[in-house]
Structure 1
Amino acid sequence: MAVSETTETVALIQSDAVAFGLIMAVLGLIFYTSSRQHGFWHKFYKHIPALLLCYFVPGALNSLGFFTADAGDNIYHISSRYLLPASLFLLTLSIDLKKIFGLGWRALAMFFTATVGIIIGGPLAIWLFHVISPEWVAGDVWKGMSTVAGSWIGGGANQAAMKELYNVEESLFGTMIAVDVLVAEIWMIGLLIMAKKSDGMDKMLGADNSKIEDLKRTVEKYTRENERVSHLNDYMIILGIAFAVVGLGHLVGSWLGPFFAQFDWAKEYSLDSHFLWLILTATFAGIGLSFTRTREYEHAGASKIGSVFIYVLVASIGMKMNLGEIYHNWQLFFVGAVWMLIHIILLFAVAKAIKAPAFFIAVGSKANVGGAASAPVVAAAFHPSLAPVGVLLAILGYAVGTFGAYLTAEMMRMVVAG
């Protein structure tokens, strides 16, 4: 099918610095209003999570033409490559590893359910529209959709692998990136709302969330019993350690990424990804130092600083969302939306059957669809202590991403071929 051309518009804000200033002002305003104890805002935030607005307001501003594409990309690059690994390190510093592993088999079950939902959802969506309106999915559309599968099961590296494997043309690939981002981010809005309503959802699912609540209470008790007044020295040491770990992560990535790039088998598991090694280094450094006296900096607010970085990351992710893209090639967004709907239906069906809590639905899905950049964000929306669970599952997604996407693509090809 033909792919429409988008019209170039001049952004209201041309400067990255001004764009960053605006989204920080937005974050400040959201936190100011969410801290109100009475009146309209108090009632408003009972129903709408502040984290959702931190994501949606920058997205709305971008859709209205406030930011250049470069501004969103540049701010996201800084946030994901520097602030994200720093936040993962700081949030992992107070981790109770035994209790995280004690969350049990349901976490893995929901992760693989999410993966299966994407693998079968793509071919089913293509089949449905092949029956209803064949021209929507004619030609090489299935090839383009293979890149969405790569992104939704693994991440950017897996998406690029599918693009190269099936020689997806640039115009179609650009459209598929828009489908990928917009459909996934609309689902993220749903996940953030789910985090706000998790207790009610757990009751509906008949889920046992006692282990999750136990982990939350352990972290909260540890923080409450040891928290102290923070000083400038504390903040400088916390930031010094965090960004030293980030620097180490980039160094490890610059060594191991090119090393594994020499091996085809390693590329299939994204072991050639600089970003993968960066995230792994930050996460395991946090886990390792959680057994040392460095953990005591949690008493001075290490996880609070990590949470600040997460909120900046959320806003930068929001800046990449453009609701106006629905107008162009809206047919493909329908296909992507049906695909995601199949994924969601399967998740809830399995969760109900095995009595998995809402947290496992959310983090299992986002570990696939969002990867290491957003899975910890969704996990932290339930509780900051749960962020490492998102990271660990997202890393598993990188391992199965290329294989899962290839399987999805071949099934879509067979559907189109009839």
Structure 2
Amino acid sequence: MITTSFIYVTALLVIAAMLKVLENTTRWRLFEYLPAIVSLYFVVMLCSTFGVWEKTEEINNAYKMLRNNLLPAMIFLMLLDADLRQIKQLGGRMLLAFFIAAVSIGIAFVVAFALFQSYLQPEAWKTLAALSGSWMGGTGNMVAVQLALDVPDASMGYTLLIDSIDYAMWVMFLLALVPHAKRFNRWVKADSQILEKIGANIELEDEQRPVNVGGLLILLASALLMSALAQSAALNLPTSSYFTPTAWTVLIVTLAGVIGALTPLGKIAGASQLSMLMLYLIIALIASRANFAELTQAPIYIILGLVILAIHALIMVLMAKWLKLDLFTCGVASLANIGGVASAPILAASYSKALIPVGVLMAMLGYIIGTGGGLLVGKMLSFIAS
């Protein structure tokens, strides 16, 4: 059993490296459905379940330190390749998809609660209302709804379990769908030429810029410095249950990355490679805290969460077919609500690095509507419960 932070991080990197090598060197059809980055989540989660590492204080501290510091650095690096002029071509369909996703999540909570009410505790509607705030915005919104409805912390256990387990499954599912984007877009008759053009332009620019050690050092130093400065500044800015220090940090590095892309820093090759390395480590870190054994602790609540996601997915697919929305638009709109700023940019990056700002901006919208949406869902759930 691993008990030290250095071996813990090394193990995560070894697993990531082995999966990526297998994906690049073999022709296993598995990787067509579960790309290395998705397989990484599953394999690391499996290792966590079998207790390959112990959650010692040293490992817990390493997890928090790396996740909290690398996420802003990764977003900054990814945004250095962003071209806002290309993003403008996406138009208002992204906003439309975001609000469709938010409304469908609200509907899904109401329908699922009506189906499962007899199996739940009497006050379960309050904790589910708090969860709906999180799945329309973020953790800050969940806390705000919890406070507004006077939900005790002790009652939030099952809600947090749904938020972690079902959310993890949803992220893995959306990442696994990325290779099938063209097939989905053909089925809904979506025009994906703009997305493909943006992705092709970014890849062409990367090929034309050679990577060198000096440039990598500059980029790495800049990203880590920006992460440190953003987190320091966030602690000194006004916060609330709506806008947390994490939200400030993401906003600051987003602005810094967009501005940096317009400077000579944005011309240095290697930002995409460094950001992808960080992405693999962040995915592994998140998966290392999950545990398949937790699925047996509250099966009704886990199933309830899956039903909510299934209803949400069904509505999104129907709307995509009607409005001819591509898979990227639907996926990022969904994860911007359910996952927020920590995961929407990751999914966006799996399509094209140029689309990172779209994921960030859509996730930030969630903070605006999350609390109001959660309270509205809570009102409807209370009506059903009474």
Scaled to the shorter chain, the TM-score interval is: over 0.9
Shift of 1:76: 4.5
Structure 2 Cα separation of the partners of residues 289 and 313 of structure 1: 23
Structure 2 Cα separation of the partners of residues 79 and 103 of structure 1: 33
Shift of 1:212: 0.8
- Equivalent residue, structure 2, for 1:209: 192
Structure 2 Cα separation of the partners of residues 108 and 241 of structure 1: 32
- Equivalent residue, structure 2, for 1:244: 225
Q: How does 1:274-313 map to 2 (within 5 A)?
A: 274-297=245-268, 299=269, 301-313=270-282
Code of the residue aligned with 2:22 in structure 1: it is T
Code of the residue aligned with 2:265 in structure 1: it is T
Q: How does 1:4-403 map to 2 (within 5 A)?
A: 12-36=1-25, 38=26, 41-69=27-55, 74-130=61-117, 134=118, 136-225=119-208, 227-231=209-213, 233-256=214-237, 259-261=238-240, 267=241, 270-271=242-243, 273-297=244-268, 299=269, 301-403=270-372
Structure 1 Cα separation of the partners of residues 60 and 349 of structure 2: 23
How many residue pairs get matched? Answer: 385
Structure 1 Cα separation of the partners of residues 202 and 115 of structure 2: 47
- Gap runs ≥5 in structure 2: none
Shift of 1:218: 1.8
1:298-342 CA-partner distances (Å, limit 9, x unpaired) = x2x111101111111111121222222221121111221111111
Code of the residue aligned with 1:251 in structure 2: it is S
Code of the residue aligned with 2:186 in structure 1: it is K
Code of the residue aligned with 1:53 in structure 2: it is S
Shift of 1:217: 1.7
Describe the shift of the 1:400–1:355 C-alpha distance in structure 2 as closer, same or farther (beyond 3 A): same
Describe the shift of the 1:229–1:137 C-alpha distance in structure 2 as closer, same or farther (beyond 3 A): closer
1:210-254 CA-partner distances (Å, limit 9, x unpaired) = 1111211221222222x11412x2222111111121122112201
Secondary structure, in 3 states, of the residue corresponding to 2:90?
coil
Between stretches 16-25 and 280-289, larger displacement belongs to 16-25
1:97-150 CA-partner distances (Å, limit 9, x unpaired) = 0111221122111111111111121111111123xxx1x123111111122112
Structure 2 Cα separation of the partners of residues 17 and 117 of structure 1: 43
- Equivalent residue, structure 2, for 1:4: none
- Equivalent residue, structure 1, for 2:373: 404
- Gap runs ≥5 in structure 1: 1-11, 262-266
Asked if structure 2 preserves the Cα contact closer than 8 Å seen for 1:84 and 1:313, the reply is: yes
Code of the residue aligned with 1:55 in structure 2: it is Y
- Compute the TM-score of the two structures, normalised by the length of structure 1: 0.88
Shift of 1:14: 3.1
Name the % identity.
28
- Equivalent residue, structure 2, for 1:6: none
Asked if structure 2 preserves the Cα contact closer than 8 Å seen for 1:307 and 1:384, the reply is: no
Shift of 1:15: 3.0
- Compute the TM-score of the two structures, normalised by the length of structure 2: 0.94
1:246-290 CA-partner distances (Å, limit 9, x unpaired) = 12211220111xx244xxxxx4xx23x111111111111111111
Structure 1 Cα separation of the partners of residues 222 and 120 of structure 2: 51
Secondary structure, in 3 states, of the residue corresponding to 1:35?
helix
Secondary structure, in 3 states, of the residue corresponding to 1:348?
helix
Describe the shift of the 1:377–1:66 C-alpha distance in structure 2 as closer, same or farther (beyond 3 A): same
Asked if structure 2 preserves the Cα contact closer than 8 Å seen for 1:76 and 1:313, the reply is: no
Structure 1 Cα separation of the partners of residues 29 and 301 of structure 2: 38
Structure 2 Cα separation of the partners of residues 70 and 127 of structure 1: 41
1:70-114 CA-partner distances (Å, limit 9, x unpaired) = 677545433432111111111111211011122112211111111
Asked if structure 2 preserves the Cα contact closer than 8 Å seen for 1:205 and 1:355, the reply is: yes
Secondary structure, in 3 states, of the residue corresponding to 2:253?
helix
Describe the shift of the 1:76–1:157 C-alpha distance in structure 2 as closer, same or farther (beyond 3 A): farther
Structure 2 Cα separation of the partners of residues 14 and 230 of structure 1: 36
Asked if structure 2 preserves the Cα contact closer than 8 Å seen for 1:96 and 1:215, the reply is: no
Asked if structure 2 preserves the Cα contact closer than 8 Å seen for 1:73 and 1:320, the reply is: no
